[in-house]
Each structure stands twice: as C-alpha cells, then as structure tokens.
Amino acid sequence: MRPLLLAFTLLLASCSGDENAGPKAEYGKGPFRPVRVTFWQDPENAASGHLTERRLADGSVIAREHCVGLDPLATQDPAFWADLAVESDSTGKVARVLVTAGVGEEAASNPLRLELTRAAGGRWSRSRPGGGWDELPALDGCDDVEIPAAHATASLPVRRLALRAGESKDLDRVLVRVPQLDVERVRRRLTRLDETMYAWEGLGKDGTSAWRVELRADGTGAVLEQSAEGLHRRVVRDTTIE
C-alpha cells in the first residue's frame, strides 16, 4: 500500500508584478472585480488544493492554483505538487497556461515547467526550455485545457458552453498530465442533466464513452464537486474577497 501524504501546505500563489509575466497585469487598482477563493479536497487520492479566480473588467479571468496529491497510475514517486495559472478570454476560451510541477525530490530551483499559449486564430504554441516557441498544429480546434490533477479547469466548459438541461456537446481539449507535463489532444462530452448536475465523459476514438464523472456546479458555472469511482473531489470552503 502506498504511503499517503501526511500533511498538505496550501500556499497562496503570488501574483507577479513582472512586466514580462504575461499579457494581463495583475497589480494595480481598477482591473479586478472581487476575488473568489476556494479550497478543495479529495480524500481518496490524498489530494487538496487552493484556487483563486480574478475577473478583469474586460471579462477575462485569471485562475491560479496550488495543489498536491497522488497519481494512482504512478509506480514510483506517486506524490506530486503543482502550481498553475490559467488565463481565459472574455469568451471563456483559454489564452495561456503556466504549470510548474514536481514530485518533491527535484532541486527547488529545477522543477518541471510548461507554458502554453493560444493565439487569436486558435493555434497553440509551447515554450522551449532554451527560449522560443514550438507551434502545435495537432491541437488546432481545442478551445481550453484539462488538468485532471487540478480543479481550476473543471469549470471551463461548463461556463463557456452554458448548456440547457438535456443538452449535450462534444469538444476537443488540451490534456496536461501532472507531474509529467505531457500534452495531448483528447475528446470529451459534457451533458447538462438538470439545474446543477452535469455528466463529463471521456470519449474513445469510436466516440463511445470510456469513463464518466458527475459534476455539481453552482449558478455561476463553478464546479463544486466531482464524483466517480476512485474520485470524490469537493469544495470545502468558498469565499469572495472584496
């Protein structure tokens, strides 16, 4: 039996004031409305996280999260940590993703890093370790990302698609695996079951469902709970800082 993590330290991911940190400035008065802060936990996978969401006046959103947990598929070093930032535009499509991750054995100055950007035309690019960017045409048509280890990306399709009860939509997403930071294209299906419940399915190449997770969301489209076999992630604290 794998040892579980004995304790979790949830740190508030600081907002960088560096001009080169990205296209959205996170310091200064005026651009942000109230900040939503949530804490979540998943006892089955010894996982937990801390998420902040800041909305700008133009409707874009910057989500930052620190999470820790266990990778049930890992045979060695199953425990991981990750810090991430996801920037979405006013339509709910992801524009930029930053992920730093590790398993606790790497040097503090040398964790794994991933940066993805999505151009206005839909083309994704990945930063190179030595500088520069590689375009990723295989991801064309993917409007958002999925990071299963984190909670920040669970609400993206719920909010963006705004389905009515009984409606269903298939979509392609960019899957980022933590802590490996591998990137691939995946097919998903979102179905709205009623006012608060959704079904989230992973689709195989033939279009059939390979797995299913039930989501419970609030009136803003924020996912509060994810339930499936081997998964029970729920928000345990949800507050807004004015």
Residue 7 lies in a domain: no
**Cis status, amide bond into 78, omega within 30 of 0:** no
Residue 181 lies in a domain: yes
Instruction: List per-residue pLDDT tens for the chain, 242 residues long.
Output: 343 333 333 333 333 333 334 445 544 444 556 899 999 999 888 899 999 999 888 889 999 999 998 765 555 667 899 999 999 999 999 999 999 999 877 777 789 999 999 998 999 999 998 899 999 999 999 999 999 989 999 999 999 999 999 999 999 999 999 988 999 999 999 999 999 999 999 999 999 999 999 999 999 999 999 999 888 999 999 999 87
Residue 188 lies in a domain: yes
Q: Where are the beta strands (DSSP E) in the chain?
A: 35-42, 47-55, 61-70, 79-88, 94-102, 112-118, 124-127, 133-136, 145-146, 168-176, 183-192, 197-203, 209-217, 223-228, 231-241
SS3 category, 158: helix
Residue 13 lies in a domain: no
The confidence score (pLDDT) of residue 123 equals 97
Residue 121 lies in a domain: yes
Residue 23 lies in a domain: no
- Give how many domains the chain has, as a whole number: 1
For the chain, how many residues are written?
242
Q: Which residue is associated with the tokens 């998943």?
A: 42
SS3 category, 61: strand
Tokens of 224: 């509060």
The confidence score (pLDDT) of residue 88 equals 95
Q: How many CB atoms lie within 10 A of CB 163?
A: 17
Residue 14 lies in a domain: no
Work out whether the CA dihedral 99, 100, 102, 106 comes out positive or negative. Answer: positive
Residue 2 lies in a domain: no
Tokens of 34: 């109230």
| Residue 199 lies in domain | 31-241
The confidence score (pLDDT) of residue 174 equals 98
